Amino acid sequence: ACTASKCLCNRVQGQFCGNEDINKNCKNDHVYECNANTGKACDYGYRKSCATCGKLKC
């Protein structure tokens, strides 16, 4: 399940790995889903590929 987070996004619908350099609320090793309507992202939690290479797939 995708839980509410303080991670903001660019209003482009879709999933991405967090980047703490851009926003400390978007954890590097978590995958988020951006909501195009609100500009807020929900958190799907830890994903190994995000931790390993910073991408949804390495």
One digit per residue, pLDDT tens: the chain, 58 residues? 999 999 999 999 999 999 999 999 999 999 999 999 999 999 999 999 999 999 999 9
Query: Any idea how long the chain is?
Result: 58
What is the per-residue DSSP string for 26-40? S-TTEEEEE-TTTSE
Residues 6+ apart with CB under 8 A from 15: 31, 32, 33, 34, 44, 56
Residue ranges covered by each domain of the chain: 3-53
Q: Which of 2, 14, 3 is nearest to 39 (CA)?
A: 14
